[in-house]
């Protein structure tokens, strides 16, 4: 979880400040990149050992074909790495003083943005499953809402308990602010009624 005081996003309101910008835990991207690491090792292993095992690959025509196939495989590996990184880096949850904004990147050209006002929150729960998530302190935070979207989910984020506490504090502040505003509006309405009666 990182502070985002110097960060702005499209659609940010004038009266709200970014409190935190949250991305998935680094272990999540490490899991996804495991296959990429194996593919990279395969490329280097092929270039080093296959010509030794198969001397025919050192001939001109076979060598050219071998290099072409190896480069093609390396290109596929690079594309996979790029897509995984894009998905990780641009999946972000922004917590402001007014709401939660979830920006989810799907592929290169699809981005989904959803938001949740604090007054729509009904319940917040945290789920940390497994030895590694417990040891590294990452997991999911589920925000139960009263809107059409039943759950607002922070997936595989670091310090999920701290995020939960932050959201609960902001929710409580929002409720107090709303109650104060209603009281002020009620007092103003009552004052207007009394003023009208005094005029009559």
> At residue 189, does pLDDT exceed 50?
no
Q: Give 77's pLDDT tier (boundaries 50, 70, 90).
A: very high
**Per residue in 138-164, pLDDT tens?**
999 999 887 655 678 899 999 999 999
Is the pLDDT assigned to residue 74 strictly greater than 70?
A: yes
Name the token pair of 128: 């940390």
Mean per-residue pLDDT for 171-190? 53
Tell me the average pLDDT across 50-78.
Answer: 83
Average pLDDT rounded to a whole number, residues 156-174 = 89
In this model, does residue 66 exceed pLDDT 60? yes
Looking at residue 121, its pLDDT comes to 85
* pLDDT band (50, 70, 90) for residue 2: very low
Q: Decide if pLDDT at 4 tops 50.
A: no
pLDDT of residue 7: 64
More confidently predicted of 176 and 78: 78
From the options 2.60.40, 1.10.3470, 2.30.29, 1.10.357, give the CATH code of 18-25+92-199.
2.30.29
> Tens digit of pLDDT for each residue in 5-50?
456 667 777 778 888 899 999 999 999 899 999 999 988 888 888 7
Mean of the per-residue pLDDT values of the chain: 80
What pLDDT was estimated at residue 179?
A: 44
Mean pLDDT computed over 66-90: 90
Average pLDDT over residues 43-71: 81
Q: Which residues contact 64 (CB under 8 A, 6 or more apart)?
A: none
The confidence score (pLDDT) of residue 187 equals 39
Q: Which two tokens stand for residue 200?
A: 């009559």
């Amino acid at each position: 979880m990182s502070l985002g005081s110097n960060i702005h996003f499209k659609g940010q309101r004038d009266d709200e400040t970014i409190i935190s910008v949250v991305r998935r835990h680094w272990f999540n991207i490490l899991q996804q990149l495991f296959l990429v690491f194996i593919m990279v090792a395969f490329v280097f292993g092929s270039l080093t050992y296959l010509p030794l095992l198969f001397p025919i690959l050192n001939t001109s025509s076979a060598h050219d074909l071998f290099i072409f196939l190896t480069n093609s495989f390396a290109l596929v590996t690079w594309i996979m790495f790029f897509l995984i990184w894009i998905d990780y880096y641009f999946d972000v949850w922004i917590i402001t003083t007014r709401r939660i904004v979830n920006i989810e990147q799907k592929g290169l050209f699809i981005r989904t943005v959803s938001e949740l006002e604090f007054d729509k929150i009904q319940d917040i729960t945290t789920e940390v499953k497994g030895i590694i998530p417990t040891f590294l302190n990452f997991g999911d935070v589920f925000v139960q809402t009263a809107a059409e979207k039943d759950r607002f989910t922070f997936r595989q984020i670091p310090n999920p308990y701290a995020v939960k506490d932050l959201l609960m504090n902001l929710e409580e502040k929002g409720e107090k602010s709303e109650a104060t505003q209603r009281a002020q509006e009620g007092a103003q309405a009552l004052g207007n009624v009394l003023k009208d009666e005094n005029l009559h």
